Amino acid sequence: MKKIIATALIAGALVSSAAFADPQVAKANKCFACHSLDKKIIGPSFRDMANKYAGQAGAEAKIADRIRRGSVGVWGTVPMQPMPEVSDADLKILAKWILAQ
């Protein structure tokens, strides 16, 4: 039984870390329509976001909230449109992935 639990925990960790290292969730949610890894398009680059929020308490929740509800004035006058269709699981993955850039 201990071996099964340990195997399940390791497998879960591998899947989770792969999700954070991989931009597939960002691609699936069309984030790359307005953002890129290292250049401003319509919105800031993912790396600029990671740098802005690095070390801030609550950064993951703040990013997830801004994806879900949208925002304006954080990066200029162009608003971030709300993305209510993004699942809670994807919001968490996206926020962690952005912070890892």
**Measured distance CA(8)–CA(41) in Å, rounded:** 40
Domain-wise residue ranges, the chain: 2-99
Q: Residue 3 — pLDDT band, cuts 50, 70, 90?
A: low
Percent of the chain past pLDDT 70, that is, above it, reads 79
Is 26 within 8 Å of 90 (Cβ atoms)?
Answer: no
pLDDT tens digits, one per residue of 21-30: 579 999 999 9
**Measured distance CA(73)–CA(18) in Å, rounded:** 33
**Measured distance CA(14)–CA(12) in Å, rounded:** 5
In CATH terms, the fold of domain 2-99 is Cytochrome Bc1 Complex; Chain D, domain 2 (1.10.760)
